[in-house]
Chain A
Amino acid sequence: MSALPPYASPLQRTWYYSFRIICGLIFFFLIFPILVILPLSFNAQDFFTFTKEMLALDPAGYSFKHYQDFFTNPDWQQALTNSVMIAPVATVLATSFGTLAAIGLSQSHVPYKPAIMAVLISPMIVPLIISAAGMYFFYSRIGLQGTYWGVVLAHAALGTPFVIITVTATLVGFDRSLVRAAANLGANPVTTFFKVQMPLIVPGVVSGALFAFITSFDEVVVVLFLGSAGQKTLPWQMFTGLREQISPTILAVASLMVAISICLLTVLELLRRRSERLRGLSPG
């Protein structure tokens, strides 16, 4: 598949190129919707489509006004503040609990491992609407509905499975004789953890934290039910914006969020390479 051999028949030739065209179209389908909002977010008009001026590349057709609106409108700023206040705290909770648990799970003798694993992974598997419904009812009973901590705890719970999975993945290739060697050389378990295990699992912890962060930062269903005005996050504001007044400010916000995704993706990719290099899995 990788290259067309020189002896290929015309039929093979046709198939080779048409397959590439098909793949190209699918890639286009994947990426076009994300790219199309970038130019539209600079629309000088309040429309959701390309104006004549924009198509003619006339500078008058473009403006920063939707970005300006985002940065000056108190609703959007409040939503941004709330997101920034909720996501990091949820991430810290999810990452610290999740990392400890992943180390525990990677020990050779864990009683009831399948059952524990099923419980810990469940927040990722259960459909969000069911989690949201359950949390709404339960948190109402215990007075957490509509509070900051209610949303933080819920988001932390949703983020933990990702931390467990990523950290476990880095521990799979972990050579346990290193721990024994450290113990042999007189290090206590705490020192061993920080000096030997920690540096190796850091990439897993960080990418788990990124997953937990994005889970909270993007989450809308649970916060929609659990939150009140004081916890209105960016995705929530976008949701109401999309359902009610479809202002092009949403496209500016969306473009900024795409930029954030690109940053996260880059960090993750760098981490993956570092982790592979550290564990000698890839030539670099």
Chain B
Amino acid sequence: MKLKTVILAGTALAFAGSSALATDLTLVSWGGAYQASQKAAYADPYTADNPDITVIWDESSAEAVAKLRAMNEAGNITWDLVDVVASDAIRLCDEGLALEIDPDTDLAAAPDGTPASEDFGDLLVSECFIPQIVYSTTFGYRSDVADWGGKEPDDICDVFDLEAFPGKRSLEKRPINNMEWALLCDGVAKEEVYDVLETEEGQDRAFAKLDTIKDNVVWWSAGAETPQLLADSEVVIGSTYNGRLFALIEEQKQPVKMLWDAQVFDLDGWIIPAGLPEDRLAEVKKFVKYATDTQRLADQAKYISYGPARKSSAPLVGKHASLGIDMAPHMPTDPENAKNTFLYNYEWWADYRDDIDAKFQAWLAQ
């Protein structure tokens, strides 16, 4: 008798679960402060206007390509909108896993009537990509390290200088950016980095440079790790996305400072998975149009220090929502911060990613 009740209750719960999914909008993002800014700037106002829609967040952007491929194979797409970096968007578009969009019909025009394709301009790096922000991968360091004798790093190569700046570093567990920084600090000119990296000797050279600090590196795979490691003093200097460091410095008031030298610009935005049924696609497109209009993109900058991808949003960027400080000086694109930037070559990495990744992982394991 009891067993029967349990079964009934279980089945009831299960059905409650599956029927709830019908009006859900599943957004895939990165978690942490970034996802929170998206929630505050787009999702919350949108659900306030459309109470029948529930937004479910899935923090799977790091595995987005793999999971989309699995869903595609099964012919069962459970995601509605996926936040990915530009290089993943290019890959997904190449493989036919993302939907191609027409910026001028699918995205809202600027308030002055400028069509979206012009407003986003060069940032539309793929037919499937809907840019949201310009961010940069850069370093943060603790400003209270006793061993440094009052010195503070101001050059990218200080990351590789264990004598002047001893302590643990955190770097991303992938070759992209790390290889370029290593070569820059091994004396390669900025314009020649990718030419050098294309050769076997160039790759060995980058690994040799990384070898000098390998024993002192903690490798991260999620953007929230470096801020946590810095806050806990587990590392003294580490790379991550600039917005994460902003949250750590300005919101959590940790003794951490930014090292903007040789920051690497990158883009982040939405893709719509290919193969959504018509009714869901219509819902998603409605949300995308809303979430990427000029005002919404400018609003996001109130919560996190990433530059809006629309030209028309830039003048609307104001003060931080709760801290009340001006956001402009914290943007990676601010002239003071962008004195020395490094351009990330999508095309090159799309071609060499598999190859160098294999070597990098082998190097890491040894």
Contacts and interface: CB of A to CB of B under 8 A. Distances in A.
B26 A229 contact: yes
Nearest to A75: B57
B57 A85 contact: no
A143 B72 CA distance: 9
A15 interface: no
Contacts of A137: 70
B232 to A, nearest CB: 7
Most B C-beta atoms less than 10 A away, residue of A92, A140, A240, A244: A244
A199 interface: no
A148 interface: yes
Interface string B36-78: 0000000000000000000011111000000100110111101
Interface residues of B, number: 37
Given A85-B14, A240-B31, A244-B224, A147 B76 contact: yes
B26 A85 contact: no
Interface residues of A, number: 30
Contacts of B78: 146-147, 228, 230
B10 interface: yes
Contacts of A142: 74
Contact of A244 (B18, B67, B79, B222): B222
A176 B225 CA distance: 60
Interface string A114-146: 000000000000000000000011011111111
Nearest to B11: A89
Contacts of B225: 243-244
A141 B75 CA distance: 8
A238 interface: no
Contact of B74 (A145, A148, A149, A246): A145
B223 to A, nearest CB: 8
A229 B56 contact: yes
Contacts of B75: 143
B329 interface: no
Contacts of A204: none
B121 interface: no
A89 B14 contact: yes
5 contacts: A89-B10, A92-B3, A92-B6, A229-B59, A229-B60
Given A88-B13, A145-B76, A230-B21, 5 more contacts: A136-B70, A140-B70, A143-B75, A228-B26, A246-B232
